[in-house]
Amino acid sequence: MARVVAGIGTSHVPSIGAVVDKGEQDSPAWKPLFDAYEPVKSWLADEVKVDEVIVIYNDHACDFSFAKYPTFAVGMSAEYEIADEGFGVRPLPSIKGNLEFSAHICRHLVYEEEFDITICRDMKVEHGLLVPMNLCFSHGEDWPVRVIPVQVNVLQHPIPTALRCYKLGKALRRAVETYGHDLNVAVMGTGGMSHQLHGERFGHLNTEFDNWFLNKIEVDPQALCDMTHDEMMDQAGAEAVELIMWLTMRGAITDDAHRIHRNYYAPMTTGMGLITMQDTL
Rounded Cα distance between 65 and 93, Å, is 24
Catalytic residue among 12, 195, 204, 229: 195
Catalytic residue among 127, 204, 229, 261: 127
Count of alpha carbons within 13 angstroms of residue 162, beta-carbon side:
23
| 30: region left, alpha or beta (phi > 0 left; psi from -120 to 50 alpha) | alpha
Neighbours of 36 (CB within 10 A): 18
Q: List the Cα angle 127/72/94 in 5-degree steps.
A: 35
Q: Is 195 a catalytic residue?
A: yes
Looking only at Cα atoms, what is the longest distance across the chain?
Answer: 52
Q: Is 127 a catalytic residue?
A: yes
Rounded Cα distance between 59 and 73, Å, is 10
CB 179 within 8 A of CB 83: no
Residues designated catalytic: 127, 195
